[in-house]
Amino acid sequence: MLVEAALALAEAEGLEAVTIRRLTKELGVTPMALYWHFRSKDELLEGMAARIFEEIDLSVDASATWQEQLRALLGSMLSVLRDHPSTAILLSTRTASSEGSLRATEVVLDILGRGGFSPTEATQIARHALSAVTNLVVGEPGVVTREDSGKLIDAQRRARIFLESLPPERYPRLVEAATPLSAGVDPDTYFAFGLDLLLAGIETMAARKC
């Protein structure tokens, strides 16, 4: 109940709004009441991360190739994290040895094992893959949080003008790419590309082994 409220609050007003006083006031109790259920705020955050992990759909299509299975799994993880944009960062820092995290790791290792990777290699790749996916969400450009979009597109316009006004002899590529650099990225395109890049890397590493 507490972590659900915390997640809701974080999603509604950003992770920095999740303060003990704020959260407990929301629930109509005293700040110190929280410490009966959690030893510290950090433990609460850990609980939030664990809850997010549990939302990931871990089912795999047994008839698909391991590449397709991996893409599906990482894709479902990605979509879960995209539903929790401001709490996704919790997964990147926290060790996350929760039930959900273990199960997710198990499935990824299994898929990679069937892809021909040894346990050691699979471990390395799984680590990078999970970390890369959360990094994708956390690092999404142009998510300037809670400012109205009017300010946002204005900032984009000023960014483009700034880039275009750079000395072309020193920054030819920046000037050339001023528009794509400053324009807001379509989220679907951005995430699809990130996933493609990651999977391309993994598949290439697999191919090199043969």
- Smaller CB separation from DNA, 42 or 176: 42
Q: Which stretch binds a second copy (CB under 8 A): 7-15, 45-53, 62-70, 116-124?
A: 116-124
Does the protein bind DNA through residue 12 (CB under 7 A)?
Answer: no
Letters for 34-63 (x = contact with DNA by CB under 7 A, - = none) are: -xxx--xxx---------------------
Q: Which does 114 bind (CB under 5 to 8 A by kind): DNA, a second copy, none?
A: none
The token pair at 129 is 């893959």
State phi, psi for 98 to the nearest 5 degrees: -80, 170
Cα(193)–Cα(187) distance, integer angstroms: 10
Residue 128 near a second copy by CB under 8 A: yes
Contact of residue 177 among a second copy, DNA, none (CB under 5-8 Å per partner type): a second copy
Q: What are the C-alpha distances in Å from 16 to residues 11, 53, 145, 147?
A: 10, 20, 11, 15
131 neighbors 149 (Cβ within 8 angstroms): no
State in angstroms the smallest separation of the CB of 50 from DNA.
17
* Residue written as token pair 């009017």: 150
Q: What is the number of residues in the chain?
A: 210
Cα 88 from chain centre: 5
Q: How far apart are CA 31 and CA 146, in angstroms?
A: 26
Q: Which stretch binds DNA (CB under 7 A): 25-33, 56-64, 95-103, 136-144?
A: 25-33
Rounded to a whole number of angstroms, the minimum distance from the CB of residue 61 to a second copy is 18
Ordered DSSP codes for 54-88? HTS-----TTS-HHHHHHHHHHHHHHHHHHSTTTT
Q: Please count the other Cβ atoms lying within 10 Å of the Cβ belonging to residue 153.
A: 12
Q: Please tell me whether residue 166 binds DNA under the rule CB under 7 A.
A: no
- Pattern of binders to a second copy over 49-88, x per CB under 8 A? ----------------------------------------
Cα of first residue to Cα of last residue in the chain, in angstroms, is 50
Interface contacts to a second copy, rule CB under 8 A: 92, 97, 102-103, 105-106, 109-110, 113, 119-120, 122-125, 127-128, 131-132, 135, 138-139, 141, 159, 166, 170-174, 176-177, 180-181, 185, 190, 193-194, 196-205, 208
Interface contacts to DNA, rule CB under 7 A: 18-22, 24, 28-33, 35-37, 40-42
